[in-house]
Chain A
Amino acid sequence: MALININDLIKDYDGNSQVVRALRGVNLTIERGEFAAIAGPSGSGKTTLLNIIGGLDNPTAGSVRVGEHDLAAMNPRQLSDMRLREIGFVFQAYNLIPVLSAMENVEYILLLQGIEETERRERCARILKEVGLEKEMNRKPKELSGGQQQRVAVARAIVSEPHIVLADEPTANLDQKTGAGLLELMHELNEKKNITFIFSTHDTMVMDRAERLIQLIDGAVVSDAAKHGGFHGAVPGKKKPAKKTARSKK
C-alpha cells in the first residue's frame, strides 16, 4: 500500500474578486522511502501540495491518504497528532524556537510526544551527532550559522522517526556548498532510516539530487520521473533497486 495516495486533488483559494485554482486534479502515489522533489516555478502549487499532504491545509475536492489516514475525515486535533507523530517538517527559514538551544529544539518534539527523559536525551544527542552538531547542541539558534540551523531543523524533523519529512525549499536560504551538504545529509538519512523525503523546490541542485522529480505547472503534474543516482534525463518510472518507487497515476 502506498504511503501517500492523492486522487483528483483540487485546491481553490478565494482571491479578491475571483477564485484562484492552485491545484488542478493532482493524482499522485508516493511509496515509503522515496526521496522525491516537487519542482515548479513560483505559484505552481508545490507548497500548497506539501501543505495538504502535511494536513496544514484542506483540499477543495479530491482525497488525500497518508498512511492509514484519510485526511478529509480527520479533525484538527487528529491532524495535529498526525503531524506530531508521523510527519517531520523542514522549512525554508529554519523556523527553530529561538529561546531553546539546538538540543531543546530537537527535544521539543519528543516532549510533545511524552517520551521519557533518558530516552529523549539519548535520541536527541544521537541525532545531533548524526547531523554533525554534537558540539553545538547547547547553542541557541542565533549562535548557529544558517546551515547549522537547517541541520537542527532536519534533526528536529527526523528525531521522532516519522514516516515522512516534508521539506519546503530547504536549501533556499543556504549557499551552494551548505545546501549540497544538507541534501547529502538528508539523503543519507533517507537511505539509512527509510524515511520518505518530499521536497518542494526550484533549486536545480535539489532536483538533481532527488530520485524522483515531480514537475508541477499551474497546479497540474506535467511530468513525474524516477531516476537512478539523481540528475536530469533519467528515465521516468525507472525504479531504484532497493526501494519501491511510485509514479503519478496519470
Chain B
Amino acid sequence: MKALLTTTRIFMKLGWRNLWRHKRRSWVVISSIALGLIMIMFSIGFINSMLRQMLDNNISTKLGHVAIYQKGFFTNMKLETNFLPDERIMPVLSKDRDIVAFSPRVKAMGMLRTSESSRGVLVFGVYPDREIKISKINEYTTKSGGSAYLDSISSNDILVSQSLASKLEVQVGDKIVLMLQDRHNDIVGVGLTAKGFFQTPVEMFDKSVVFMGIERLQQITGLGKNVSEIMIITKDKKLAGSVKKRILAASANPELDILSWEDMAPELVSLIKMIDKQMIIFYAIVFITIIFSIANTLIMSIMERFHEIGVMKSVGTRPLQIFFMVMFEALNLGVVGLAVGLTVAVAIIQIMGHTGVDLSSFMSLLRSWGTGSIIYPFVTLKDILVAVVVVEATTIIAAIYPAVKAARIKPLEALHFI
C-alpha cells in the first residue's frame, strides 16, 4: 500500500510538472475551463437570486410559509368557505417555536369603481399591525404625498396599488366604491377612501389585490368573526413542512386545509425544478466544448512526448501508471481551472450580491416574473460542489482517450520515434 502511494505520488508530480511544460497552451485550456465555469456560476447566481425573489415576493405578499383555510377555499375562493379562528387553532400557532408570526385574513372577490373606470379585485381584509409581521405590504406602501399604510381594522380606508390607482384615476383621499357579494349572495356596495398606494415586485398581485381593515370587511360581507385564512410565517421557509405537520396534528380539524407554500405554489416549485434541469443542459453544452479542448491539448502533449513515454515504458513503467500520469495531468488542469474560475466567479458574485445588479431597464419584464428590479446574485455550497464535480468529471472524461492512447504506446515504436 505504501509502495502504491509512493508510486502514485511520483505520477502526480509528473502530471503536475508536465502541465507546465507548455505554459501558454495549458493556460489556454485553464482559461477555457475557468471562463466556462464563470459563465455558469454567473447564470446560476442570477437564476438563484431571481427564483428566491420570485418565491419570497409571493410568500411575503400573498402566500406566507403556511396557511390555514376552510377546506375548498384555496381552489375556488368562495366567500362562504370560511372558518372561525377559535381556541383549537390560535393557541397552537402561538406556542409553536418555529412560527414567527401569523395573522387571520378575509379574502373576497369584488369590483372597484370610480367615476372613470372599474376593475375586478381580490380584497384582503387584514389586521394592519399584524400584517406588518407577515407580509411586506407596509414596506411596499408609499409614505409620501399623503399616501400611508392602513391604521385601523374598522375604517373605510383602502390600500390600492399604484398601477390600479392609475387605471382607476384615483388620488389619495379619493372615494372608491367597492361592490361585492356578501355571504348571503346579496350585492353590497360601500364607499371607501383611498388611504395609500403600494407597489410590490409582483405585477399580477398589484393588478388584482387591494387591502382594507379586516373588521370592516367582515361587516360588509357579513362574516362576523369568521375569516378566510390564517397566514403563517415561520423562521425559515424550509421549516414550512414540519410546521404544517404539527398544526395538522394539533388542530385535529378535518374541515381545515393546512398548506405549505409548496402546496400553494406548485407552479413555482415546478419552475425551480425545471430550471435546475435546464442548468444540467447548460452545464453539458459548456463542458462538452471544454472536453474537446482538453482532449486535444492532452493528445498534442502526448504526441510530443511519444519518445519520452516510450523510454518510460522501456525502463519498466507499466501502462496503467502511464494512464494515471495522463489522468493526473488532466485532473490538475481541472483543479487549476476550478481554482481560477471559482475564485473569480465567487468573488464577483459576492461583490454583486452586496451591491446588487440594477436591472431597472427591464423592470416591467422582471415585475411580470415577480422579481425585483435589483438582482442580488448568490451561489450556494451545493452549486459550488456541483461545479467541482462537473469540472473534474469533464476533465476525467476528456482525458480517458489520450490516457489510453499514451498507455498503449509501444516502447519500441516510441524509441524509434524522434
Contacts and interface: CB of A to CB of B under 8 A. Distances in A.
Interface of A: 51, 54, 56-57, 77, 80-81, 83-85, 89, 91, 93, 95, 97-100, 108-109, 111-112, 114, 116-117, 156
A83 B312 CA distance: 11
Nearest to B311: A95
A158 to B, nearest CB: 12
Contacts of B418: 93
Interface in B310-330: 311-318, 321
A185 to B, nearest CB: 19
Contacts of A56: 314, 411-412, 415
Nearest to B7: A111
Given A51-B415, A108-B10, A109-B316, 10 more contacts: A56-B314, A85-B316, A95-B307, A97-B14, A98-B21, A99-B21, A111-B7, A114-B4, A114-B6, A114-B7
Contacts of B4: 114
Contact of A117 (B6, B317, B318): B6
A95 B308 contact: yes
B15 to A, nearest CB: 10
Nearest to B418: A93
A89 B312 CA distance: 11
27 contacts: A51-B415, A56-B411, A56-B415, A77-B318, A81-B316, A84-B316, A85-B316, A91-B415, A93-B418, A95-B307, A95-B311, A97-B312, A99-B14, A99-B17, A100-B14, A108-B10, A109-B316, A111-B6, A111-B7, A111-B10, A112-B7, A112-B315, A112-B316, A114-B4, A116-B2, A117-B6, A156-B315
Interface string B1-25: 0111011001000100110010000
A108 B321 CA distance: 12
A241 B120 CA distance: 119
Interface residues of B, number: 25
A83 B315 contact: yes
A97 B308 contact: yes
Contacts of A156: 315
B156 to A, nearest CB: 85
Contact of B313 (A51, A80, A116): A80
Contacts of B415: 51, 56, 91
A98 B308 CA distance: 9
A51 B412 contact: yes
Contacts of A111: 6-7, 10
Contacts of A85: 316
Interface in B190-218: none
Interface in B371-400: none
B412 to A, nearest CB: 5
Contact of A80 (B21, B308, B318): B318
B314 A54 contact: yes
B2 A80 contact: no
Contacts of B6: 111, 114, 116-117
A98 B307 CA distance: 12
A165 to B, nearest CB: 12
Nearest to B317: A112
A89 B14 contact: no
B253 to A, nearest CB: 73
A89 B315 contact: yes
Contacts of B14: 97, 99-100
A26 B211 CA distance: 106
A85 to B, nearest CB: 7
A231 to B, nearest CB: 31
Nearest to B17: A99
Nearest to B316: A84
A26 B302 CA distance: 37
Contacts of B411: 56
B311 A57 contact: no
B107 to A, nearest CB: 73
A111 B318 CA distance: 13
A117 B7 CA distance: 11
B321 to A, nearest CB: 8
A109 B313 CA distance: 11
A27 B162 CA distance: 105
A46 B314 CA distance: 17
A57 B321 CA distance: 21
B128 to A, nearest CB: 74
B146 to A, nearest CB: 77
Q: Top 10 A-B pairs ranked by shortest CB distance?
A: A84-B316, A114-B3, A99-B17, A95-B311, A83-B316, A111-B10, A56-B412, A57-B412, A56-B411, A80-B316
Contacts of A80: 313, 316-318
A150 B316 CA distance: 19
B25 to A, nearest CB: 15
A100 B21 CA distance: 12
Interface string B208-234: 000000000000000000000000000
